[in-house]
Structure 1
Amino acid sequence: MQLELRHLQAVCRIAEAGSLGGAARRLGVSQPALSAQLRRIERVTGGELFVRGRSGVEPTALGQFVLAKARRVLNEMEALGAEARAIATGTPLRLGCILLVLLDGLLARTDLSMNGQEISVDLEHSVTALARMLGAGRYDAIVYGEVNDHEVPLPEGALARTLVSKEPFCIRLSARHPLAALDGIDLADLADESWMTPVEDDDGGPEALVAACAKAGFSPSLRYRITDRKIAYDLIAAGRAISLSQPTAPPAEGTVMRPLVGAPITGRIRLAWNRSAVSAGQAQLLYGAAARAYLANVDNNAFHKAWWDAHPEAHPAMD
């Protein structure tokens, strides 16, 4: 077997995720398949690339060497595409996003042009992948979230601006749930529930949920990880799970949204762009479109509208 780009990508994803399971999810393959692929790669490179450590898998000395070479090759290949695109004309500005509530509204605005330049929008489930592809020129700009104190490292040459500096996450649960009648829910009262695992596993969300639950005296049962909204909402409506949710999320039949007492988990939304690909004027247009998409959802839930009106410091800076 000869090493191919997909093998180098697999090695890099394992290092980024810190676990085979996390890397397999990002690559869209099963963990056993990725483990088998890693063993084949290690036979070619001549030794183990990763060992299991206290916090997951860690690269060996050989692994560090292969990673450095792999990243260099992948960056060169991605730079080739980015530089070729820069020479070409009539290509759209490429925007990458994670699954945020404002995305629906932002997609509705993509028919607007940016000084004559069209926008294409792609959805990713990894903030790490978004930032990496921004640095490699695969995206010109990205919209992403961060939870609690987590900060997403951005590549060199990227500029960033905060859209929403703070929003308190809430809970979506079945309308038939005994706690559905409350105006606010104490996190400790959810100790026996089955939870939807946050879709993004590298924006600080899972760690924030586990830490908040630990402070409330329990460890959450993270039973489901489902990216399809309808399937997730159907499970919640049936009383089989609950989930964290952005407070601007729209209603879903059979479910209700309730704020968490004390707002133990909060998020922020940011826009980042490659300054070599996006002008200051284009960045301002993107920021305004994303901000308006968020503001269009503020009234979805009365409890968040009340919180939002009381916290003007969290509002986007609209020119």
Structure 2
Amino acid sequence: MDVSANSLLGMVAAGRLDMAFVHEVEGSALRVPRGLCLRVLVEREPQFVTLAADHPAAARREVRLADLAGERWMVDSTVDGEWDALCRVLRAAGLEPDLLHGDYLTAYSLAATGEVVTVSQPTAHPRPDLAMRPLEGDPIGVRLLLAARCEGELDRAYAELEAAYWDVARQAPAYQEWLARAARSAADDDEPRPRGR
């Protein structure tokens, strides 16, 4: 395991790993070494916010960035693209909060005590002292990719990875709720609309 997707891709290209499961943060393209094959598992996975279970914003189904205006954020700056993505999103919302560097284990511990809020994958394992909620408008997303040196390796591993991912996703209540809402919204968009005269 490595928090840097670019490092993992480099290890695959060098033959030190057979394959890697990585995420690419929107707006921060990965440096894919020549010759690597990629397969997309999820085109866009929203990133959620993690905060103390008793935080006032935790009562909402979706959290507005404005609800977190006075909060300190902790993000792991060694995760390729996450620091930049969070900074872009917060600036676009007109926010200039305190940003702290730290690994996500520390960030979760501090979030549980109300010291910080942090971003998280929607598949993160739920904890009773934390609330994981979607951000309104899903402003931060990642693309999930499987990388190997040849298509045959991807063919052999992809179905197992896909099954494992959705198994984990089914155990994440907030993500299941988000997926159900997204499916309903997509179905509503596909319904024929009455035509005006």
> When the two structures are superposed, what TM-score results if normalisation uses the length of structure 2?
0.84
Instruction: Pick from 148, 155, 173 the counterpart of residue 51 of structure 2.
Output: 173
Residue 244 (structure 1) aligns with = 119
1:215 aligns with 2:92: yes
Report if the CA contact (8 A) 1:298-1:308 is conserved.
no
Deviation by residue 1:194-216 (Cα, 9 ceiling, x = unmatched) = 112135432x2111110000011
Report if the CA contact (8 A) 2:19-2:147 is conserved.
yes
C-alpha distance in structure 2 between counterparts of 1:252 and 1:306, whole Å = 16
Residue 145 (structure 2) aligns with = 270
Residue 235 (structure 1) aligns with = 110
Structure 1: 4+ residue segments shifted above 6 A: none
Change (3 A) 1:143 1:200: farther
Change (3 A) 1:200 1:256: same
Report if the CA contact (8 A) 2:132-2:174 is conserved.
no
Instruction: Pick from 300, 306, 310 the counterpart of residue 171 of structure 2.
Output: 300
The one-letter amino acid of 1:185's match is V
Q: Which has the larger radius of gyration?
A: 1
The one-letter amino acid of 2:162's match is A
Deviation by residue 1:47-104 (Cα, 9 ceiling, x = unmatched) = xxxxxxxxxxxxxxxxxxxxxxxxxxxxxxxxxxxxxxxxxxxxxxxxxxxxxxxxxx
Q: Which runs of 5+ in 2 are unaligned?
A: 185-197
Report if the CA contact (8 A) 1:147-1:205 is conserved.
yes
With CA pairs under 8 Å and 6+ residues apart, which has the higher RCO, 1 or 2? 2
Task: Report matched runs for 1:1-319 at 5 Å.
Answer: 123-198=1-76, 200-202=78-80, 204-227=81-104, 229=105, 231-275=106-150, 280=152, 282-309=153-180, 310-311=182-183
Q: State the 1:244 CA deviation.
A: 0.4
Q: State the 1:149 CA deviation.
A: 3.2
Change (3 A) 1:214 1:256: same
SS of equivalent residue, structure 2 residue 42: strand
C-alpha distance in structure 1 between counterparts of 2:59 and 2:166, whole Å = 27
Report if the CA contact (8 A) 1:237-1:253 is conserved.
no
Instruction: Give the number of the structure whose residues are more often helix, by fraction.
Output: 1
The one-letter amino acid of 2:55's match is H
Q: State the 1:311 CA deviation.
A: 4.5
Report if the CA contact (8 A) 2:111-2:117 is conserved.
yes
Change (3 A) 1:300 1:200: farther
Q: Which runs of 5+ in 1 are unaligned?
A: 1-122, 313-319
The one-letter amino acid of 2:14's match is A
Q: Percent identity?
A: 35
The one-letter amino acid of 1:135's match is A
Report if the CA contact (8 A) 1:188-1:213 is conserved.
no
C-alpha distance in structure 2 between counterparts of 1:142 and 1:208, whole Å = 22
The one-letter amino acid of 2:149's match is N
Does 158-167 or 245-254 show the bigger shift? 245-254
Report the count of equivalent residues: 183
Change (3 A) 1:303 1:237: closer
Q: State the 1:217 CA deviation.
A: 0.6
The one-letter amino acid of 1:289's match is E
Report if the CA contact (8 A) 1:127-1:200 is conserved.
no
Report if the CA contact (8 A) 1:143-1:271 is conserved.
yes
C-alpha distance in structure 2 between counterparts of 1:220 and 1:145, whole Å = 25
